[in-house]
Amino acid sequence: MEEILRVENLSKRFEDISVINNLSLSVKKGEVVVIVGPSGCGKSTFLRCLNGLEEIEEGEIFLDGEKVSSNKKNMSKTREKIGMVFQSYDLFPHKTILQNITLAPITVKKRKKAEVEEEALKLLDRVGLLSKKDNYPRQLSGGQKQRVAIVRALIMHPEVLLLDEITAALDPEMVREVLDVVLSLAKEGRTMLIVTHEMAFAKAVADRVIFLEGGKIVEEGAPNDFFDNPQTDRLKRFLQTFSYEK
Ligand code: ADP
Ligand code: MG
């Protein structure tokens, strides 16, 4: 498979704290990479560096073989090609669901309204929310809002999609409906980097799982090896925090 994203020796610090330490990663087109790790290990910072929300001090990021980490102008191009969905859906409260989704493609990408709306309706239908198109965010559940946020990212036609703990704030029964959408995106061959604490989901969706600690990749592997046969003591201990024994 063809490489779509390459990170070389990325480092990021906040004042004197080093958050990402010389991290390198290559992601293939259509690959789903799940990133797990303890709170504060740099998962969000890493994703934010990838789509240009954080400036990086050292290292390079290549998308489709093109260097994207060098200047501000490139950064905004990157942000269009690398979509991101966050834990907080950040929908505009005074705009309808359809308006929330079509705003960026119409204003940023200068696409025709009719064409964008048609695509938005198709995507809403796909995530089971066509009937909500004229509702406002406050009229939707958390899980519904997060599915809208996914549609809002998809309509920008990103080459890579970054998902940062998108179900962390949801009630358990809503987690499933959101993760099912993500599973369907994986099946259709979307390239995704996913940060999650849902280990069963991670095992199902991932082509590769990465354990991040202290801004470094401590261990990585295919999901079965990673979860059933962890090599480092650190990963063993981390995985134990997700299992219960009486
Ligand atoms: P994770 O997503 O794995 O929980 P983060 O990437 O959010 O971790 O944070 C990694 C570390 O960087 C933490 O110690 C956090 O406090 C710090 N950090 C994140 N963002 C900032 C910021 N804007 N300014 C200063 N420190 C930050
Ligand atoms: Mg985080």
Residue-wise pLDDT tens digits, 15-62: 889 999 999 999 999 999 999 999 999 999 999 999 888 988 899 999
Q: Are 111 and 105 in contact (CB under 8 A)?
A: yes
* pLDDT one-digit tens code per residue, 119-141: 999 999 999 999 999 999 999 99
Distance from residue 164's CA to the centre of ligand 2 (Å): 7
Residue nearest to atom 23 of ligand 1 (CA): 14
Helix H, strand E, coil C: the string for 147-215 is HHHHHHHHCCCCCEEEEECCCCCCCHHHHHHHHHHHHHHHHCCCEEEEECCCHHHHHHHCCEEEEEECC
Task: Report the Cα 172 to chain-centroid distance in Å.
Answer: 20
pTM of this structure: 0.95
Nearest to 103 by CA among 163, 48, 156, 161: 156
Distance from residue 32's CA to the centre of ligand 1 (Å): 24
Residue 74, pLDDT > 90, answer: no
pLDDT at residue 62, as a whole number: 93
pLDDT at residue 1, as a whole number: 74
CA distances to 60, 69, 195, 212 from 16, rounded to whole Å, are 21, 22, 25, 20
Distance from residue 27's CA to the centre of ligand 2 (Å): 20
Structure tokens at 212: 């991040």
Residue nearest to atom 12 of ligand 1 (CA): 19
User: Of the ligands numbered here, which is closest to the C-alpha atom of 42?
Assistant: 1
* pLDDT one-digit tens code per residue, 206-218: 999 999 999 999 9
pLDDT at residue 146, as a whole number: 97
**Bridge partner residues of 58 (DSSP):** 11
Residue nearest to atom 20 of ligand 1 (CA): 45
Give CA angle at 234 (43, 35), nearest 5°: 25
Distance from residue 89's CA to the centre of ligand 2 (Å): 14
If 0-12 CB within 10 Å is exposed, 13-18 middle and 19+ buried, where does residue 111 land?
middle
Mean pLDDT rounded to a whole number for the chain: 94
Structure tokens at 231: 């090599």
